[in-house]
Amino acid sequence: MINNNGYSLSEAVRKEIESQPHIKNSLSEGVINYSALARKIIPELEITLEKEIHEESVIVAIKRYADEMKPIENEATYIETFANSEVMLQDDMCYVHFKKNPEVIKKIDKLFSSEDWKMGEMRVLIQGADQIMVITKKKRIKEILEELRDDVIYSIEDNALVSFRMPFESFSTYGILAEMSNRLAKKGINIEVLTSPPDVHFLVDEKDAEKTYGLFKKLINDSKELYEKQKK
């Protein structure tokens, strides 16, 4: 049954759950009581659907949505993927979006082709149709930021770049990135994600750098232990 707002009950339940990430995460992990959740969201559903709603109908819709969230089996397991990964941390990073024009391209190309980069120093360059995005050490981009200040769309300093290097085949495995992002979300860590296989780069606030690195390091170490046990 569709109401005047164009929503069915199932769609309204989905919309309500997805508006509350903490509830969605708990539902995906199977640690939430369907009846309790139904009672909690019924008042909002009745406003949305403009009618009285029975708890049993909401429970059915919640269960249907929870079933859709069950993980899909993959040929490559998460454990094997994470066991064969490594993580790197770079602090004092700057994230800048420039307008794309010949002068910006010339200066950015010169910066990235410089030969004085230290071993292991990370830099990310992505060119879009009308923008250029750069992530690099703050000290390296400082001079260019001043020279090209009229071409800066926005910049964010005091960031850290946590780079997670995985086997190439992992990028075709369903849910890998979601699994990593969910772990950070549960710790209250905000991220910008960029992928350039074999690396996934997580740009985080400087204050969350060690927490993010430690979380991923533990993920790798725990996965190695489990993977070794599985092989025995």
Average pLDDT over residues 19-42: 84
Confidence of residue 187 (pLDDT cuts 50, 70, 90): confident
The SS3 of residue 138 is helix
The per-residue pLDDT for 6 is 63
Tell me the domain boundaries of the chain: 9-68, 78-231
Phi first, then psi: give them for residue 127, nearest 5 degrees: -105, 125
**What CATH superfamily classification does 78-231 receive?**
VC0802-like (3.30.2130.10)
Residue 231 predicted with pLDDT over 70? yes
**Tens-digit pLDDT profile for residues 107-119:** 999 888 887 777 7
Residue 169 predicted with pLDDT over 50? yes
Confidence of residue 39 (pLDDT cuts 50, 70, 90): very high
**Tens-digit pLDDT profile for residues 52-92:** 889 999 999 999 888 877 654 444 468 888 999 999 999 99
Phi first, then psi: give them for residue 158, nearest 5 degrees: 55, 45
What DSSP state is assigned to residue 156? E
Pair 52, 46: CB distance under 8 Å:
yes
